[in-house]
């Protein structure tokens, strides 16, 4: 049998790349003879190498992955450090959702789906043509948010399939009966609840129509589309194309499944794989000391994603909210000790009973991003600072750790077995990592589809939206009681049971395996079609 070559074409940002790293691993697990080629930007090269090494370790006989460097700026580089609408988008995304800010976001949202200007797009596109010529892949798997890759595959007639970390809702909402995208499902970035409340339906409808209008009238998008036709002989394909009018016959693999999304009619071009979780080494392999610390007791893990920077006032509010939680746990433990002294369930070990079924004292691992790339830290959190003062007792007892970086992957921390609450920003990977690790979550969304994931956590009964009033920031008065509710409240046990059931469901048919099987099936059907033609 001829060795098959699969080319994975993806943006370098973790939110997109992680599902491709998971798919590459699963492909080799199913067929060790498959050759994995990975085309992306330099920012993800080390992670590709690490994943390749781990995949080969898990599947003896598999070949190391080959990394191909794309020319031009990466997705985030194309958005940042520029004047005009793209810089405006970055600024608007961090604002509180109001009618004016949402309308302003809708006007420039097209630049998120297509951040490259014409020369940059051409540069990336041509490097892809070069890589296609070098690799001659049997099939290409392309990122749903990577317009140059989508366009090149279609223009060159390359057999390809789309893979996305996004949800079924993102790709199916335009196909719902009775125009439900306008009145039933919250428009991306609106921060409306699901189902959209009656009072918000008029605004939701306006936002949906505005998004369509701005897409149709955007000058830069029209110019890029015309240039692609004239200079490259290509029909432009973007994420928005996939949502609203996908090319005929194109299959889209989604890192989501119906049981963990809103109720939807799912069109036939979508394959609901389930969460694609990147295989990672356990915490002990990367940081033995952290592994031992995590095993001491139930842990709240705070990680707000790669791009979420907390200003000092926000960090102070977070610290105060944690103070509310820690004090509530201490009071609960005191109650158990008193009951134990009276022959109750706590016994002498009442202080060690733990929460969430994990024995030991509650502790917090807080990954705090305080600075933007290329800048020094904007504020300190050591002794003498406001954040340290609020949590001083627990920091000195090593029950609260505030760190800039965690060496193991966040998913490895969640899989350690002692995390009882994930506080995250509502990114697709963060949401799915917590869900598949059976960890309830508190979500602090700040932009776009992150609000949808906060909605999902509450709709599914596996967590809470932690800043519905204070968004896009957080506030002690709101977040503190919500943390108590998820970790210790009367609904906490129900949330833990619900997320455990969903995690078990996802584990029965792992998303990465479903995606890899779909890719291999596509290869097989292509081979059978060619054989039939002969």
- The pLDDT of residue 105 is above 90: no
At residue 372's C-alpha, the angle toward residues 366 and 375, to 5°, is 115
Beta bridge partner(s), residue 301:
365, 422
Average pLDDT, the chain: 91
- The pLDDT of residue 375 is above 80: no
The answer to whether residues 101 and 92 touch, using CB atoms and an 8 Å cutoff, is: yes
Question: pLDDT per residue over 301-333, tens digit each?
Answer: 999 987 788 999 999 999 999 999 999 999 999
Q: What is the pLDDT of residue 373?
A: 56
Residue bearing the bigger pLDDT, 237 or 348: 237
Q: How far apart are CA 260 and CA 262, in angstroms?
A: 7
pLDDT interval class at 344 (50, 70, 90): very low
- Out of 3.40.50.2000, 1.10.10.10, 3.40.190.120, 3.90.79.10, select the CATH number for domain 283-508: 3.40.50.2000
Mean pLDDT of 170-182: 96
Q: What is the pLDDT of residue 51?
A: 95
Question: pLDDT per residue over 400-410, tens digit each?
Answer: 999 999 999 99
Beta bridge partner(s), residue 69:
40
- The pLDDT of residue 528 is above 70: no
Question: pLDDT per residue over 263-313, tens digit each?
Answer: 999 999 999 999 999 998 899 999 999 999 999 999 999 999 877 889 999
pLDDT interval class at 352 (50, 70, 90): low
Mean pLDDT of 215-239: 88
Number of Cβ atoms within 10 Å of the Cβ of 335:
13
To the question of pTM greater than 0.75 for the whole model, the response is yes
Range with the poorest average pLDDT among 47-61, 96-110, 184-198, 250-264: 96-110
What tokens appear for 315 in the block? 């960090």
Q: What is the pLDDT of residue 152?
A: 95
Q: What is the pLDDT of residue 233?
A: 81
- The pLDDT of residue 84 is above 70: no
The verdict on whether omega for the bond into residue 307 sits within 30 degrees of 0, i.e. cis, is no
Beta bridge partner(s), residue 12:
none
For tokens 């968004």, the residue is 471
Q: What is the pLDDT of residue 354?
A: 79
Q: Is 400 helix (H, G, I), strand (E, B) or coil?
A: strand
- The pLDDT of residue 385 is above 60: yes
DSSP 35: E
pLDDT interval class at 338 (50, 70, 90): confident
What are the residues whose beta carbons fall under 8 Å from the beta carbon of 186, sequence distance 6 or more? 192, 193, 194, 196, 200, 204, 451, 452, 455
CATH class, 5-277+510-533 region: alpha beta
Q: What is the pLDDT of residue 95?
A: 84
- The pLDDT of residue 350 is above 90: no
The residue count for the chain: 534
Question: pLDDT per residue over 430-459, tens digit each?
Answer: 999 999 999 999 999 988 889 999 999 999
DSSP 16: H
Mean pLDDT of 378-396: 95
Range with the poorest average pLDDT among 115-129, 191-205, 327-341: 327-341
Q: What is the pLDDT of residue 111?
A: 83
- Percent pLDDT > 90 in the chain is 77
Q: What is the pLDDT of residue 116?
A: 92
- The pLDDT of residue 245 is above 60: yes
Question: pLDDT per residue over 2-14, tens digit each?
Answer: 689 999 999 999 9
Q: What is the pLDDT of residue 336?
A: 85
Residue bearing the bigger pLDDT, 439 or 94: 439
- The pLDDT of residue 533 is above 90: no
Q: What is the pLDDT of residue 418?
A: 97
Question: Within the chain, which residue ranges are assigned CATH 3.40.50.2000?
Answer: 5-277+510-533, 283-508
> What do you get for the CA distance between the two ends of the chain, in Å?
17
Question: pLDDT per residue over 454-485, tens digit each?
Answer: 999 999 999 999 999 999 999 999 999 999 99
Q: What is the pLDDT of residue 112?
A: 84
Mean pLDDT of 26-53: 96
Mean pLDDT of 505-528: 91
Q: Which of 184, 196, 198, 203 is nearest to 97 (CA)?
A: 203
Q: From residue 510, give the alpha-carbon distance in Å to each of 10, 212, 315, 342, 495.
A: 21, 35, 36, 48, 22
pLDDT interval class at 348 (50, 70, 90): very low
């Amino acid at each position: 049998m001829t060795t098959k070559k699969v080319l994975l074409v993806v943006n370098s940002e973790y939110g997109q790349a992680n599902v491709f790293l998971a798919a590459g691993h699963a492909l080799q697990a199913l067929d060790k003879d498959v050759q994995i080629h990975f085309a992306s930007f330099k920012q993800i090269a080390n992670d590709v190498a690490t994943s390749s090494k781990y995949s080969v370790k898990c599947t003896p006989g598999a070949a190391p992955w080959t990394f191909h460097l794309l020319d031009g700026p990466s997705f985030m580089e194309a958005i940042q450090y520029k004047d005009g609408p793209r810089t405006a988008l970055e600024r608007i995304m961090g604002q509180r959702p109001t009618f004016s800010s949402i309308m302003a976001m809708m006007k420039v949202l097209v630049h998120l789906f297509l951040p490259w200007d014409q020369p940059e797009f051409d540069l990336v596109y041509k490097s892809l043509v070069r890589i296609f010529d070098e690799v001659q892949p049997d099939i290409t798997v392309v990122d749903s948010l990577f317009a140059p890759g989508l366009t090149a595959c279609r223009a060159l007639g390359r057999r390809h399939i789309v893979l996305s970390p996004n949800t079924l809702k993102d790709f199916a909402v335009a196909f719902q009966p009775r125009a439900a995208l306008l009145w039933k499902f919250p428009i991306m970035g609106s921060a409306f609840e699901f189902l959209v409340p009656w009072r918000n339906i008029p605004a939701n409808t306006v936002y949906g129509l505005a998004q369509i209008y701005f897409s149709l009238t955007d000058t830069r998008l029209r110019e890029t589309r015309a240039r692609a036709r004239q200079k490259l002989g290509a029909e432009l394909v973007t994420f928005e194309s996939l949502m609203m009018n996908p090319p005929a016959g194109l299959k889209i693999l989604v890192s989501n499944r119906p049981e963990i999304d809103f109720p939807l009619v799912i069109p036939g071009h979508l394959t609901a794989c389930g969460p694609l979780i990147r295989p990672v080494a356990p915490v002990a392999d990367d940081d033995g000391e952290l592994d031992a610390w995590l095993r001491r007791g139930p842990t709240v893990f705070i990680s707000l994603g790669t791009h979420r920077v907390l200003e000092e006032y926000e960090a102070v509010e977070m610290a105060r909210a944690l103070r509310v939680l820690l004090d509530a746990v201490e009071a609960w433990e005191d109650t158990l000790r008193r009951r134990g002294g009276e022959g109750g369930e706590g016994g002498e070990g009442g202080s060690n009973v733990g929460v969430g079924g994990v024995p030991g004292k509650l502790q917090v691992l807080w990954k705090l991003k305080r600075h933007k790339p290329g800048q020094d830290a904007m504020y300190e959190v050591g002794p003498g600072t406001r954040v340290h003062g609020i949590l001083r007792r627990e920091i000195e007892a090593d029950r609260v750790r505030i760190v800039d970086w965690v060496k193991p992957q966040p998913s490895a921390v969640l899989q350690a077995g002692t995390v009882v609450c994930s506080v995250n920003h509502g990114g697709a990977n963060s949401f799915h990592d917590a869900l598949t690790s059976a960890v309830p979550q508190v979500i602090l969304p700040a932009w776009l589809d992150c609000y949808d994931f906060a909605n999902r956590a509450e709709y599914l009964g596996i967590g809470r939206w932690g800043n519905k009033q204070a968004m896009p920031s957080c506030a002690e008065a709101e977040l503190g009681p919500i943390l108590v509710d998820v970790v210790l409240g009367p609904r906490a046990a129900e949330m833990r049971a619900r997320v455990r059931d969903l995690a078990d469901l996802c584990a029965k048919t792992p998303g990465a395996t479903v995606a890899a099987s779909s890719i291999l099936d596509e290869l097989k059907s292509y081979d059978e079609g060619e054989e039939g033609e002969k």
